[in-house]
A and B are shown apart, each in its own frame.
Chain A
């Protein structure tokens, strides 16, 4: 499905990723953990084409996509969410979901101007799919609200919906429960499990906190300062002395 091979990413002076490799199988829920600044978001940015790694390969569905432009990678079926919500703030929930389906439309600008035949048909069909996601994520009450007016927890959920609207082959979730209270966290955990069980979409989940990840993930990769520290089942990674030191030495010792 996805194979990250020996990826290195440097920003002038800072090494964000230092030789990371991992593989994600079909229908797997893979997690990446590590303290803040460990390079988790950077890994996502490399996979989704926002950054080009200096070294290494990213194979997705058999093709090397490292350095490919983001919209081409998206068109192959890779969807992601962002650590800090990156929704289209002036659009409604529905329009954000509809935008997620951008790659599934076939009609062009001329058809859009006339709104006849094909454009209308495709929009109606897409709307039906968007409504499925509204149902799935229980967003009925917010449909027509511009997303900038929504509570943070709902915005996170809309972002998951927008990614699901792409009907992805692989889903990357960057800290889906960051900043959420307990109740919102449990809701989100339930949706993540639903996505895996009902839609069967493989996922890579990033979190800086171990709690959620240990409950959900099939396998876990722990990063520290851009380097892989441990990889394996949640129990094994949790007990790994290197991981414990990374967490105790980092800023996470408070929690």
Chain B
């Protein structure tokens, strides 16, 4: 039923659309049936229709070309957005797929950021540093340290649910904020900060000009590849026994247990994997700016990640990525506000300033999406897709 239309939408959007009722390119191309699968392997593939394969390839091609088109400032911003997307995909694993609301994401990001920075830092510097700059070491270490912290938090999720869990994980953020502000031997202290991890892989420093181009081009491509890897991992996880068990725990925990899902184990696993993603994202997030302050890991950061998941679409990987792009690029737009609306100040000491406007916008966006489109950007995309699928019969 949807088969031929999918193909039509894909070809139609590449060229001028024929008038309604006139069949497009009849006879030239045999219309295949994109949803006709002849083996379970085909049916269970991630990109199970030619249209999906084409679109994914096209998106990847565009993303790979961008560094040779955009200015450096935009590339840095996008590189940051890609890292944020890794974190958002991670939060979506525990909150979207497994249904355990966590406001503690900033805490796990911090653990990753400091683990990586400490491992790769200058041993002779004023803050802790081991001098091991290889990403192959500090990236997994950052993820594992955060995953371990996630495992320690998980037992709370077995005892608490919903709001109670949210409030307790929120406590983690306050706890972390305090510890990181005081522990200036590790963090450099508030207002001073410390250098971020050094992104070096096989002898190539990605935070300097190198074989792939300028510093910004290099960082952009590095983050793009990493995001692709992490996103693929999450998609695989979601369609595996683990992803199904997460969804079962989220939808009906008693039934899940009766079907053989060990609730404690899978909640712990969700927190561990989600925190692993957060740890890696935290480690990478500040390599773009090169520097970070212990004050960054506050409630607002957690809320931003929640916003990415809710705005992008709960329990979809592509939605979390879209949400992360949206939230990261939003400040770039609000920065332009003082020019348009002079009563909004660009100065943080004045009221109203753009930073306040941003915070209010996050809140408003979350409310708007929760009320009007609970499936987020992903839901809007599905609506658009369904509109075109049934085009020209739009009911």
In residues 349-376 of chain B, which contact A (Cβ within 8 Å)?
none
The distance in angstroms between the C-alpha atoms of A123 and B240, with both chains bound, is: 7
Does B254 count as interface, using CB distance less than 8 angstroms?
A: yes
Residue in A88, A112, A119 whose CB lies within 8 Å of B247: A88
List the 9 closest pairs (A to B, CB-CB), nearest first. Answer: A112-B240, A74-B260, A115-B236, A86-B255, A103-B260, A70-B257, A88-B251, A113-B233, A127-B40
Contact code string B258-282 (vs A, CB < 8 Å = 1, else 0): 1111110000010001000000000
- Docked-complex contact A112 and B243, CB < 8 angstroms: yes
Give the residue of A48, A109, A127 whose beta carbon is less than 8 angstroms from that of B273. A109
Residue-by-residue, is A134-163 near B (CB-CB < 8 Å gives 1, otherwise 0)?
000000000000000000000000000010
Query: Mind listing 18 A-B residue pairs with CB under 8 Å?
Result: A74-B258, A74-B259, A87-B255, A88-B247, A88-B251, A89-B252, A91-B247, A91-B251, A99-B245, A102-B259, A109-B242, A111-B240, A112-B240, A113-B236, A119-B240, A123-B44, A123-B239, A123-B241
Report chain B residues within 8 Å CB of A88: 247-248, 251-252, 255-256
A87 close to B243 (CB less than 8 A)? no
Interface readout for A243-255 with B: 1 if CB under 8 Å, 0 if not?
0000000000000
| Contact indicator A166/B252 (Cβ below 8 Å) | no
A34 to B144, CA, bound (A): 54
B41 within 8 A of A: yes
B215 at the A/B interface (Cβ < 8 Å)? no
Whether a CB of chain B sits under 8 angstroms from the CB of A199 is no
B244, CB-defined interface residue at 8 Å: yes
Q: In the complex the two chains form, what is the Cα distance from A88 to B243 in whole Å?
A: 13
Task: A127 to B243: give the CA distance in the assembly, Å.
Answer: 15
> A193 an interface residue at 8 Å Cβ cutoff?
no
B111-133: which residues lie under 8 A (CB-CB) from chain A?
none
CA distance A88 to B244 in the complex (A): 9
- If A50-B257, A91-B251, A114-B236 are given as contacts, then 4 extra A-B residue pairs at C-beta distance below 8 Å, sorted by A number, are A71-B260, A71-B263, A74-B257, A102-B261
Asked if A176 lies at the interface with its beta carbon under 8 angstroms from chain B, I say: no
Chain B, 308-328, CB within 8 A of any chain A CB: 315
CA distance A162 to B254 in the complex (A): 15
> Does B212 lie at the interface of the complex (its beta carbon under 8 Å from any beta carbon of A)?
no
Q: Determine whether the beta carbon of B259 is less than 8 Å from that of A166.
A: yes
Across the interface, which residues of A come within 8 angstroms of B263, CB to CB? 71
Decide if B10 is an interface residue (CB 8 Å cutoff).
Answer: no
Q: Which residues of B contact A175 (CB under 8 A)?
A: none
Q: Report which A residues bind B (CB closer than 8 A).
A: 48-50, 69-71, 74-75, 79-80, 82, 86-91, 95, 98-100, 102-103, 105, 107, 109, 111-115, 119-120, 122-124, 127-128, 131, 162, 166
The CA-CA distance from A109 to B236 in the complex, in Å, is 10
Give the complex CA separation of A124 and B233 in angstroms. Answer: 18
Chain B residues whose C-beta falls within 8 Å of the C-beta of A95 in the assembled complex? 244, 247
The interface residues of chain B lying within 8 Å CB-to-CB of A107 are 240-241
**Distance from B339 Cβ to chain A, minimum over Cβ atoms (Å):** 44
Bound-complex Cα distance A166 to B260 (A) = 9
Output the residue of B244, B258, B263 with the most chain A CB within 10 A: B258
Taking a contact as CB atoms closer than 8 A, the residue among B237, B250, B254, B261 that contacts A112 in the complex is: B237
State how many angstroms separate the Cβ of B354 from the closest Cβ of chain A: 38
Chain B residues with Cβ below 8 Å from A79 are 259
Q: In the bound complex, do residue A86 and residue B254 qualify as a contact, i.e. CB atoms below 8 Å apart?
A: yes
B241 touches A162 (CB 8 A): no
Of the listed residues A80, A115, A131, the one surrounded by the most CB atoms of chain B closer than 10 A to its CB is A115
Determine if B269 and A109 form an interchain contact, defined as CB atoms under 8 angstroms apart: yes
Please name all residues of chain A whose beta carbon is closer than 8 Å to the beta carbon of B245 when the two chains form the complex: 99, 102
**Contact A98-B236, Cβ < 8 Å, known A70-B258, A88-B252:** no
- A71-B237 contact given A89-B251, A90-B251, CB 8 Å threshold: no
Please pick, from A90, A100, A119, A128, the residue contacting B259 in the complex, using a CB distance under 8 A: A100
Residues in A whose Cβ lies below 8 Å from that of B258: 48-50, 70-71, 74, 80
Residue in A109, A119, A131 with the greatest tally of chain B CB atoms within 10 Å? A109
Question: What residues of A have a CB within 8 angstroms of the CB of B256 in the complex?
Answer: 88, 99
Complex Cα spacing A99 to B262, Å:
13
A108 to B243, CA, bound (A): 11
A66 → chain B closest CB, angstroms: 16
Compute how far the CA of A129 lies from the CA of B244 in the bound complex, rounded to whole angstroms: 16
Alpha-carbon distance A102/B269, docked complex (angstroms): 15
Q: Which listed residue (B236, B255, B257) contacts A82, Cβ 8 A? A: B255
CB distance from B261 to the nearest CB of A (A): 6
Cross-chain contact B255 with A112 (CB below 8 angstroms): no
For the complex, what is the distance from the CA of A122 to the CA of B236, rounded to whole Å?
14
With the chains together, A122 CA to B40 CA distance in Å? 12
Contact B262 A71 (CB under 8 A): yes
